Amino acid sequence: MRIRKIKYNRTGDEKGVLVRWEERGGEGSWDKREFESQDEPADEFGEALQSLAGDVEKMCEIPHDGLHGILVTGVTFSYGGEKEVMGAMITAQRQLVNNPCAWNVNTPHKASDSYSDTPAPREQLLQEDTIARLNDLIEQAEGYIQGTRKQTSFLKDDKTEVTVKK
């Protein structure tokens, strides 16, 4: 399995999680799969996605002013070259001071390694810690597909939220 897209819309009519992935098919082809649900993900899913906010600021050269933070809403993955090197583009929003609409931003696409045997310039590559955060997010998305979600208690007076694996 290789994840191609993760999107988490926390508000509005389109609230929910979308995960697209591919699985090896016959003769080396890739079969496309998609899962979309309004089930709220486990806290770790949202934390893994939001952990990329600093990477968005760095990659897009956004000054960190501490006033209106970055909300990471998704990641699009690619796989290229003979080594099928993972690449990623992160999508995020930033609330603006004088505008009721958020600013939507995509980071530049960067790869985790060179697509060929020739080394790529460091500025064209994802940083090691970013790759680790992306891999954590991929694990959380795979868990979501397999049923790991946040579930609120069914008892009326109990407000406790727990993560369950279905």
pLDDT at residue number 155 = 52
For the entire predicted model, the pTM comes to 0.85
- 96 neighbors 102 (Cβ within 8 angstroms): yes
38 token code pair = 């309004």
Q: What is the mean pLDDT of the chain?
A: 87
Q: What is the mean pLDDT of residues 46-60?
A: 94
3-class DSSP state for residue 45? helix
Judged against a pLDDT cut of 80, whether residue 40 lies above it is answered with yes
The Cα–Cα gap between 108 and 122 comes to: 14
56: phi then psi, degrees, rounded to nearest 5: -60, -45
Kindly state the helix (H) or strand (E) to which residue 59 belongs, with its residue range: helix 53-59
**pLDDT tens profile 87-144:** 999 999 988 888 888 889 999 999 999 988 888 889 899 999 999 999 999 999 999 9
